[in-house]
Amino acid sequence: MAKKIPTYDIPESERKVTPFQILQLHNYKGYASNIPHRHNYFELFLFEKGSGVHEIDFIETEIKPLSVHVVCPGQVHYLRRSPDSAGIVIIFTKDFYFLPQQMNPVVDEFPFLTGIGNTTIEPGEVVFNSLLEIVQLMKKELNGEGVDSSQILRNYLSIILLQLKRAYSVSTDVISDSRSKNYQVFEQFRKLLDVNYITVRLVKQYADMLHVSPENLNALSKQVAGKTASALIDERVILEAKRLLLFSENSVKEVAYFLEFNDPSYFNKYFKKITGLTPESYRKSRLNPDL
Question: DSSP characters for 127-168?
Answer: HHHHHHHHHHHHHHHHHH--TTHHHHHHHHHHHHHHHHHHHH
pLDDT digits (tens, 9 = 90+) for 90-128: 999 888 887 654 444 455 578 788 777 668 999 999 999
Strand partners, 44: 70, 90
Given this model, what pLDDT does residue 123 score?
93
Specify whether 63 is located in the same domain as 109.
yes
Q: What is the mean pLDDT of residues 80-84?
A: 90
Domain stop point among 141, 171, 201: 171
Q: Rounded CA gap, 72 and 40, in Å?
A: 8
Task: Kindly state whether residue 1 falls inside one of the protein's structural domains.
Answer: no
Given this model, what pLDDT does residue 179 score?
46
Domain stop point among 150, 171, 192: 171
Q: What is the mean pLDDT of residues 14-33?
A: 71
Specify whether 135 is located in the same domain as 270.
no
Specify whether 187 is located in the same domain as 162.
no
Q: What mean pLDDT value characterizes the chain?
A: 84
Specify whether 163 is located in the same domain as 219.
no
Q: Rounded CA gap, 80 and 69, in Å?
A: 13
Task: Kindly state whether residue 76 falls inside one of the protein's structural domains.
Answer: yes
Who contacts 250 (Cβ-Cβ below 8 Å, separation ≥6)? 1, 2, 244, 258
Q: Which domain holds residue 49?
A: 7-171
Specify whether 188 is located in the same domain as 164.
no
Q: Which of 3-17, 60-74, 271-285 has the lowest mean pLDDT?
A: 3-17
Specify whether 51 is located in the same domain as 108.
yes
Count of domains forming the chain: 2
Query: Which residue has better confidence, 225 or 99?
Result: 225
Does residue 246 have a pLDDT over 70? yes
Specify whether 199 is located in the same domain as 279.
yes
Specify whether 59 is located in the same domain as 111.
yes
Query: Which of the 8 DSSP states describes residue 37?
Result: B
Query: Which of the 8 DSSP states describes residue 283?
Result: H
Specify whether 102 is located in the same domain as 186.
no
CATH of residue 188's domain is 1.10.10.60
